[in-house]
Amino acid sequence: MSSKTLDNLTGRWKFGLFLAASTALMWGVLPLALKGIMVTLDPMTTTFFRFFIAAALITPYLIFNKKLINRHKFRSLKLNLQFIAAGGLLIANYALYIFGLERTTAEAAQVMMQLAPVTLLLAGVVVFKERFSALQWCGFGIFVSGLLLFFSPRFASIFVALDDYGFGLLMLMTAACTWVGYAIIQKFLLRNFNAEETMLVFYWMGALAFLPFSSFDLLSELTEMQWCLLIFCGLNTLIAYGCFSEAMAHIEASRVSAVIASTPIITLSLVQFIPNLGIQAEILLPVTLLGATCVVIGSIITATMKN
């Protein structure tokens, strides 16, 4: 691949694919780590530490490297309102995701959260007047069919009893929608701020929002492994998003999206094939495996088959 064929990209496509794969792996492992922590800590405290660790690490980095170049723009009421709206949606996304994950399985959470990037592509048609090709519509149809197939053994939980699992799925679905709202507003904010500046604000907003609902009484009961998992979850956001942003500088966004679409398969493989994780696994049937495959393939087609 020649760098001349790439628009403002470095041409280091192998490194870009490595970074995208690293992002997918980080996000694939994340729900397993969260499940391990929530054996002891409640969801709100767990999420507080995710935000706080990320905020505590990114703040000195941005200050010492003088990357807060747009701080004077925080005087704008319009931009502050956009930050509040986007931050509120991101906080809702984290809360809904962690409570949905608590009630379901790691595999179910990752499959359902694929709804977020696919819905964002659809939102781009309405908000940003982007075009959606016939192949993308086909991919979207495959994606929706995959969701229905994957969760078909659980339809009674969702549509009849609405038990804990079904309610958890609804929370995950709503989490995906709130992320789309956040991502749209974030796109507007990036016209005035760099990505690091916006994430600094969002991390501190999240830490402050979850602090009043957190309980630190059980921290002493965490095992060494759980402490490692807690630190990993805080680092995960910084590292995964950092790899994601850097990958976009080396390869096309569609290729990054295609690699990241493999995240549910990574989670499913880790839970199903690594023994003694101590995590509840989704019951795998031929229809659920077919559904997971269709979700991944549909996501890839929707992300890559643009005109």
| pLDDT per residue as tens digits for the range 157-180 | 777 777 888 889 899 999 999 988
Residues 216-227: tens digit of each pLDDT: 999 999 999 999
Give all strands (DSSP E) within 59-201, no chain letters. Answer: none
Please tell me which residue, 99 or 13, carries the higher pLDDT value.
99
- For 258, counting Cβ atoms within 10 Å of its Cβ (0-12 exposed, 13-18 middle, 19+ buried), the class is buried
Task: State how far the Cα of 211 lies from the Cα of 245, in Å rounded to an integer.
Answer: 28
Is pLDDT at 6 greater than 50 in this prediction?
no
Average pLDDT, rounded, for the chain:
84
pLDDT tier, 305 (very low <50, low <70, confident <90, very high otherwise):
confident
Token output for 102: 């608590």
Is pLDDT at 156 greater than 80 in this prediction?
no
Q: State the amino acid at position 197 in one-letter form.
A: E
Query: 87: closest CA among 202, 204, 211, 195?
Result: 202
pLDDT tier, 278 (very low <50, low <70, confident <90, very high otherwise):
low
Token output for 31: 């729900």
Is pLDDT at 97 greater than 90 in this prediction?
yes
Residue 254 has a pLDDT of 64
Percent of the chain whose pLDDT exceeds 70: 91
**Residues spanned by the domain of 188:** 3-304
Q: How many domains does the chain have?
A: 1
What number is the average pLDDT over the span 27-48? Answer: 91
Q: Is the full-model pTM beyond 0.95?
A: no
Query: 98: closest CA among 206, 183, 257, 228?
Result: 206
Q: CA 229 from chain center: how many Å?
A: 17
Residue 232 has a pLDDT of 93
- Under DSSP, the state recorded for 274 is S
